[in-house]
Amino acid sequence: MRNIFVFLLPLLLVGCFHHGENDAKEAVDSFSVAYFNWRFKEAMPYVTPHSALWLRFAASQVDQEDVDSLRAKKYAADVRVEDVSSVDDTTKMATVIVKDFIVMDSIGGSPRVVPIDTFRLPLALANGFWRVHLRRLP
């Protein structure tokens, strides 16, 4: 019995390290959880280089009222990746449902909680990895 564990343990460990390494659904899920909870720095690894500009812009627009609204929330935004479909060899489109998240209103407006919304997020291959490719802020 012990010999079986000695043989299977390395296989299990190798399999764990490669799981999801280039998975589009995991990339969009990780991005969405970070982005819709306003953790823009944590979202950076899951976007294309061009998209990083959008995240920097979003972070620059956060003010104290936004921070206070985020701190007052009891729970984080709930994110569910509904679907990821191929457009072509280098492009995919993800449908993401987000519940109970805060959005910034226009300049001078107060942040508000949105109960539920659906987003379509494009993904592109960047250096061989699937990454969210923002053309605007979701």
The structure's pTM equals: 0.82
H-helix or E-strand spanning residue 95: strand 91-103
pLDDT of amino acid 107: 65
Mean pLDDT, to the nearest integer, of 103-121? 86
pLDDT of amino acid 104: 78
What 3-state class would DSSP assign to 39? coil
The per-residue pLDDT for range 13-36, each reduced to its tens digit, is 444 434 446 899 999 999 999 999
Burial of residue 93, with CB atoms counted within 10 A of its CB: 0-12 exposed, 13-18 middle, 19 or more buried? middle
pLDDT of amino acid 1: 53
Residue 115 has pLDDT above 70, yes or no: yes
Rounded distance, CA 24 to CA 62, Å? 28
Residue 120 has pLDDT above 70, yes or no: yes
The per-residue pLDDT for range 46-101, each reduced to its tens digit, is 999 999 999 999 999 898 888 888 889 899 999 999 999 999 999 999 999 999 99
Average of per-residue pLDDT values in the chain: 86
pLDDT of amino acid 22: 83
Mean pLDDT, to the nearest integer, of 120-127? 96
Rounded distance, CA 108 to CA 75, Å? 25
Are the C-beta atoms of residues 95 and 83 closer than 8 Å to each other? yes
**Of 18-27, 99-108, 119-128, where does the model show the most confidence?**
119-128
